Amino acid sequence: MIEPMVTGDADRARIVAWGEASDPAVVQHALADDLLLDLRAGLPAITTPITVLYPDNVSLGAPVGAADKIYGAAFAGLPHVILRRVDGSRHFIMFDQPAAFAADLDAFLAS
């Protein structure tokens, strides 16, 4: 499951080790909550500025711009959102593109 989520072998090994060290029951409940909880109806009520970093997944065969449509639709109801695609990344942006991740984090914290 981790294979397509990162670009580097060392990062993949680190994430697998985290999974092996995790409590299976906690992971099960967290994943169930993540998959079943749909907060889209409440997005318009959020007034806090939000920046969403998302991967391009082009290295996995996704067409250029496909992620823009997916994330744009998912966060369409959020009035104060900045959507930022991080090219050359997969799910774990902070590992695949650490400089871009740090720059975006710094920009968000400075705003």
Give 36-75 pLDDT, tens digit per residue. Answer: 999 888 989 999 999 999 999 888 889 989 999 999 999 9
The average pLDDT across 24-33 equals 95
Question: What pLDDT sits at residue 98?
Answer: 95
Convert the pLDDT of each residue in 79-111 to its tens digit.
Answer: 889 999 999 999 999 999 999 999 999 999 998
Contact between 22 and 30 (Cβ < 8 Å): no
Backbone angles phi, psi at 70, to 5 degrees: -65, -50
Question: What pLDDT sits at residue 8?
Answer: 86
Question: What pLDDT sits at residue 94?
Answer: 94
